[in-house]
A and B are shown apart, each in its own frame.
Chain A
Amino acid sequence: MDKTVETAKPDLKQVDEILSRYQDQKWPLIPLLQEVQDEIGYIPPEAIEPIARGTGLFPVQVQGVITFYEQFHTTPRGKNIVRVCRGTACHVRGGRTILKIVKQNLDVEEGETTPDMNFTLETVPCLGTCFLAPAMMVNKNYYGKLAPPKVRNILQQYDNAGD
């Protein structure tokens, strides 16, 4: 599971609310988990019990599904998700340095979230854009042919966003 980040208790009311929207119908688990994650940003462990009740499953079964799929997260995630590629094409073109720069800039390790909850850093086996190597993604945007200054610029863009 993801490393834990100290945050305030999640608001389970949101989970109850999502469940109550579909009260009398048997919930398909995966769409429900997706909805919870979309709304809260992650699936708080405390939500497992109510979700289990709503779906007629055992809590361990819900945990099993959450931990099986990479798309689900059990700790809060940053506003922006940075995914740096570790694929072969990127590797031979300096992907390792890119990752190092990102880590330095954000001051977090892989899988971690910045204390201000702005960024979560992840790595992926291949982004499927090898022709852009070395590559990374921020949220849904691709960035290729990276070099350290460019990386800093990109991150700065997101740092200011929303302020």
Chain B
Amino acid sequence: MEAITITLNGVEVSGHPGMTILELARESGVDIPTLCYDPHLIPIGACRICLVEDERSGRLSASCVTPIEPGMVINTKSPKVMERRKMILKLILASHPDTCLVCDKGNRCELRKIASDMEVGLIELVKIPQLATIEEVNPFIERDLSKCILCAKCIRADHELVVQGAIEYINRGFTSKPATLNDEPLEKSECTFCGTCVAICPTGALMETKRPYSGTTAAIVSTICPFCGCGCNIDLEVKDNQIVRARPGKGSTVNRGTLCVKGSYGFDFTRSAERLTSPLVKVNGDFQVVSWEEALGLVASEFKRIKENYGSGSLALLSSSKCTNEENYLLQRFARSILGTNNIDNGSRLYSAANIIGLGSPVGFPGTTNHLDALEQSDVILVTEVNLTSAAPIVEYAVKRAVKYKGAKLLLIDPLQTGLSSFAHLWLRPKIGTDIAFINGMARVIVTEGLLDEEFVTRKTDNFEALSSELERYTPEYVEQVTGVPSDDMRHAAQLFAGATTASIVYGAGITQHVTGTNCVMALANLAMLTGNIGRRGGIYALQRDCNGQGACDMGTIPNLLPGYQSVEDTESIKKFADCWGTSLSADVGLTAVEMIEHAKDGKVMSMYIMGENPVLSFPNSTLVKEVLESLDFLVVQDMFLTETAKLANVVLPAASFAEKEGTFTNFEGRVQRVRKVVEPLGDSLPDSEIVLRLANSMGCPMPYSSLQQVMDEIRDLVPLYQGIGYGSTETKGERRDELDRDPFRNRRLYKGQFPSGFGRFSPVQYEPPVEIPGDEYNFTLLVGSILHHSGTGSKTSRSPRLSEFSPEAYVEIGPSDAEQIGIGQGDEVKVISPLGEVTTVVRFTTTLPDGVIVMPNSFSSTPVNQLFDIVLDPLSKTPALKACAVKLERI
């Protein structure tokens, strides 16, 4: 492509064809004011404030929509431009209320900024009366459309970025405004309160409401959202050591100007009155406030005593998929080198551990194989058993964008209706627990109809013969009989998937939280390899529930794997770490999360250290979990809140929130991103890393780090995946640049067309009928899932004033005809009873459920659904089945 040269304010500059004058001007450091332009949106040239003059013709044009042409002589500030721009500005201001002084948009208002830059006062024209504020009762967004300048940015963000379709202009002329369907308040519309439109609105027309703290922003700090595994970049605005608001991080290729409701509004949990602010020690059943020295001294002496009396194997540690990489790294080093045990696991065991073997063994790397951008470029996207709306909102946006604007075809495999159903080219609803049969059926069609990518299969994979013979059973007729999906539809799905140039697969906990989770992941990996969609284009997207689920595993808080998935049974790996840490290390595989409980029950584990996890709410059979934790010789819980688990502890250590510490999170794509301190830790709380370091000191075995940077340096040296990653030149004053983000995927060889071991290995897996089949007594299948406004067990989100106001309690969804049969109505209180336990909740009708299936959210401490599940582990991943169980309903 030839570069195009133009003259810009007397200077020659060049850009590439297709670039607009505005883009080239910004690149060249020339400022042109804009109101309706945003780099994430398709420009529409509506406001005309960005006018420039072509001096050759004297023509004025809107620079945001005018492409550069050779020989242009552009003046961005000619008298003619300035005069016209002022006129336009005055016209906009004429219909704008004089409330600037009290408007909360304050200095962020682009209209006000432009007016003051151009020295235009507010009242020079006769005012046009404006529409009134809309009555809204949601705790997130308030609209004052009298301040609307009709730039359509909110509408375009809603359609082009988050693809929700909640708002659009209504009417025309003076009464035109952005509105929901039937002009209802937002809470009665399709709006998800993602906050994207609020962040992009150039005026005070759209604002956040119920801010935890008001005031003019004094500083903006870029960091990472602490909720789901998507890893959205957020900019936190601060004043007086308080977070004022969160906005989508500028320039992020992860979330591209968007967030979800949790990222935009959920940070207010950090100032919850329930935050722990000092260490607590239980004396005669009551907690007493103590100093850090006292608390850590007690923990150190107890750990030493237990280790000496019962051996290292009697200690077990649960690390957190919500803590940073550095914190996870430190805790596993503490466990392995100081306590001498591999009994360390992290919270992602409960939802994504199936990836470790399920992807690790066929593909060679236990995680997502390509980046989000490549997902959006796919021709066919297979989404299996995951409600992206709640589990991974920005992945949902990407899928919807691909379908709506890029012609991608969505294959949705889910018995339940989700936000993506209306976007699906084909929505297939196999019976619960029959996914393996379905996916194998697709694979068989691909093999028997010769639709596979033969070159890829021959050159890049092995074990194909075994796979194809094992697939024999999965004839379309058999698969139809097992899954209930018509064989023609299944075949159509297979043909579509195999026929695509690039096809991607997205899955989450709906696959991995079943007893057969690991096998199902392998079935998906087979499908991707058969069609050549791995290691070069397309890919497998394994979602993570928590902000650092991927990183915690990468960091080796896993009982059989050292950091970087290096086996504890491999003498060379063990030696590498032992040498670095200057100790000997155990080569015995440790216990996974739920096994710790089982061993504690048998008296083999005497003491546990739990960092940032809440097993009483997250593990199956909570009654047992509670009993066991209570009966431990010594329990330490490190958390921000006095969770159900912390209440059982002997010592509670108060941890700082994500906004109060430094470090890195690794998102589900494998992108390592920087978490930054925004405000000081609350009270006496400390970052988890600091607590672990101090504890090591108290044990008399200090770990040799004087900064987190040194921890990351060590990780870089010992973990091949993190090679080249470092804090780099991050903390220079003013602009913060991150070496970290420059090439986030450089070490993931999968992105470059190679399997780490050279070959992908097909792993045939068989369908087994689900164990959760309902019977005569327990006649419903309960599915448990996440909801948009909460995450995990809700320990953070239930303490976010705004999120919990909007979504205060659990419910059970049931189809009206099922409900009628057992005589319950909408809003009735019911007991949901399994052989193991019961919970009480209220009934909500949902017309789209399959017969005999009911659904409950998992994030409410007042309705602990985990109580209903018995401990049944996937034999390979040791993940407890927490997705489906047989229950009955009783009206109260």
For the complex, give the distance between the alpha carbons of A68 and B168 in Å. 11
Q: Chain B contacts of A45 at CB under 8 A?
A: 182
CB of A60 within 8 A of CB of B180, answer: yes
CB of B167 within 8 A of CB of A60, answer: yes
For the complex, give the distance between the alpha carbons of A63 and B155 in Å. 14
Q: Which of B169-177, B806-814, B864-872 contacts A (4 or more CB under 8 A)?
A: B169-177
Q: Chain A contacts of B166 at CB under 8 A?
A: 60
Most buried by A among B169, B180, B181, B182: B181
In the complex, what's the smallest C-beta–C-beta distance from B497 to chain A, in angstroms?
22
For the complex, give the distance between the alpha carbons of A60 and B181 in Å. 5
| Interface status of B422 (Cβ within 8 A of chain A) | yes
CB of A58 within 8 A of CB of B168, answer: yes
CB of B172 within 8 A of CB of A60, answer: no
The prevalent SS among residues of A at the interface is helix
Most buried by B among A45, A48, A60, A68: A60
CB of A59 within 8 A of CB of B165, answer: yes
CB of A58 within 8 A of CB of B165, answer: yes
CB of B165 within 8 A of CB of A67, answer: no
CB of B170 within 8 A of CB of A63, answer: yes
CB of A63 within 8 A of CB of B168, answer: yes
Interface residues on B, range: 10 to 19
| Interface status of B239 (Cβ within 8 A of chain A) | no
In the complex, what's the smallest C-beta–C-beta distance from A62 to chain B, in angstroms?
9
For the complex, give the distance between the alpha carbons of A48 and B181 in Å. 9
Question: Which of A48, A56, A58, A68 meets B159, CB within 8 Å?
Answer: A58
Residue of B nearest to A53 (CB): B422
| Interface status of A61 (Cβ within 8 A of chain B) | yes
**Please, what's the 1-or-0 string for A134-146, where 1 marks a CB less than 8 Å from any CB in chain B?**
0000000000000
In the complex, what's the smallest C-beta–C-beta distance from B76 to chain A, in angstroms?
34
Residue of B nearest to A74 (CB): B182
For the complex, give the distance between the alpha carbons of A127 and B180 in Å. 34
For the complex, give the distance between the alpha carbons of A100 and B159 in Å. 46
**Residues A54-112 near B (CB distance < 8 A):** 56, 58-61, 63-64, 67-68
In the complex, what's the smallest C-beta–C-beta distance from B134 to chain A, in angstroms?
15
Most buried by A among B168, B172, B179, B404: B168
In the complex, what's the smallest C-beta–C-beta distance from B378 to chain A, in angstroms?
19
In the complex, what's the smallest C-beta–C-beta distance from A57 to chain B, in angstroms?
8
CB of A64 within 8 A of CB of B169, answer: yes
For the complex, give the distance between the alpha carbons of A60 and B168 in Å. 6
Question: Which of B168, B171, B172, B182 meets A61, CB within 8 Å?
Answer: B168
For the complex, give the distance between the alpha carbons of A119 and B404 in Å. 43
Q: Chain A contacts of B422 at CB under 8 A?
A: 53
Residue of B nearest to A48 (CB): B181
For the complex, give the distance between the alpha carbons of A45 and B181 in Å. 10
Q: Chain A contacts of B165 at CB under 8 A?
A: 58-61
For the complex, give the distance between the alpha carbons of A56 and B170 in Å. 19
For the complex, give the distance between the alpha carbons of A56 and B404 in Å. 9
**Residues A20-57 near B (CB distance < 8 A):** 45, 48, 53, 56
In the complex, what's the smallest C-beta–C-beta distance from B63 to chain A, in angstroms?
27
If A53-B422, A58-B159 touch, whether A64 touches B182 (CB-CB below 8 Å) is: no
Residue of B nearest to A45 (CB): B182
**Residues B170-224 near A (CB distance < 8 A):** 170-172, 179-182, 190
In the complex, what's the smallest C-beta–C-beta distance from B406 to chain A, in angstroms?
14
Q: Chain B contacts of A56 at CB under 8 A?
A: 404
CB of B172 within 8 A of CB of A67, answer: yes
For the complex, give the distance between the alpha carbons of A45 and B170 in Å. 14
In the complex, what's the smallest C-beta–C-beta distance from B589 to chain A, in angstroms?
53
Q: Chain A contacts of B170 at CB under 8 A?
A: 63-64, 67
For the complex, give the distance between the alpha carbons of A48 and B422 in Å. 15
CB of A68 within 8 A of CB of B182, answer: no
In the complex, what's the smallest C-beta–C-beta distance from A30 to chain B, in angstroms?
15
For the complex, give the distance between the alpha carbons of A63 and B180 in Å. 9
In the complex, what's the smallest C-beta–C-beta distance from B516 to chain A, in angstroms?
36
For the complex, give the distance between the alpha carbons of A99 and B532 in Å. 74
For the complex, give the distance between the alpha carbons of A87 and B187 in Å. 43
Q: Chain B contacts of A61 at CB under 8 A?
A: 159, 165, 168
For the complex, give the distance between the alpha carbons of A56 and B181 in Å. 16
Question: Which of A48, A63, A68 meets B172, CB within 8 Å?
Answer: A68
In the complex, what's the smallest C-beta–C-beta distance from A100 to chain B, in angstroms?
26
Q: Chain A contacts of B167 at CB under 8 A?
A: 60
Q: Chain B contacts of A48 at CB under 8 A?
A: 181
In the complex, what's the smallest C-beta–C-beta distance from B153 to chain A, in angstroms?
16
For the complex, give the distance between the alpha carbons of A58 and B191 in Å. 12
CB of B181 within 8 A of CB of A67, answer: no
For the complex, give the distance between the alpha carbons of A116 and B404 in Å. 45
If A58-B165, A60-B166, A61-B165 touch, whether A68 touches B171 (CB-CB below 8 Å) is: yes
In the complex, what's the smallest C-beta–C-beta distance from A154 to chain B, in angstroms?
32
Q: Chain B contacts of A59 at CB under 8 A?
A: 165, 181
In the complex, what's the smallest C-beta–C-beta distance from B399 to chain A, in angstroms?
16
Q: Chain A contacts of B159 at CB under 8 A?
A: 58, 61
In the complex, what's the smallest C-beta–C-beta distance from B339 to chain A, in angstroms?
56
For the complex, give the distance between the alpha carbons of A111 and B483 in Å. 56
For the complex, give the distance between the alpha carbons of A63 and B176 in Å. 12
For the complex, give the distance between the alpha carbons of A67 and B170 in Å. 6
Question: Which of B169, B190, B404 meets A68, CB within 8 Å?
Answer: B169
In the complex, what's the smallest C-beta–C-beta distance from A55 to chain B, in angstroms?
12
Most buried by B among A56, A63, A68: A63
**Please, what's the 1-or-0 string for B419-450, where 1 marks a CB less than 8 Å from any CB in chain A?**
00010000000000000000000000000000
Q: Chain A contacts of B171 at CB under 8 A?
A: 67-68
Q: Chain B contacts of A60 at CB under 8 A?
A: 165-168, 179-181, 190
Q: Chain B contacts of A53 at CB under 8 A?
A: 422
- Name the 7 nearest CB pairs between A and B, nearest first: A58-B165, A60-B168, A64-B168, A68-B172, A67-B171, A67-B170, A64-B169
A-B contact pairs, 5 of them (CB 8 A): A53-B422, A58-B165, A63-B181, A64-B168, A67-B170
What would 17 more interface pairs be, CB under 8 Å, given A64-B169, A68-B169?
A45-B182, A48-B181, A53-B422, A58-B165, A58-B168, A60-B166, A60-B167, A60-B168, A60-B181, A63-B168, A63-B170, A63-B181, A63-B182, A64-B170, A67-B171, A67-B172, A68-B171
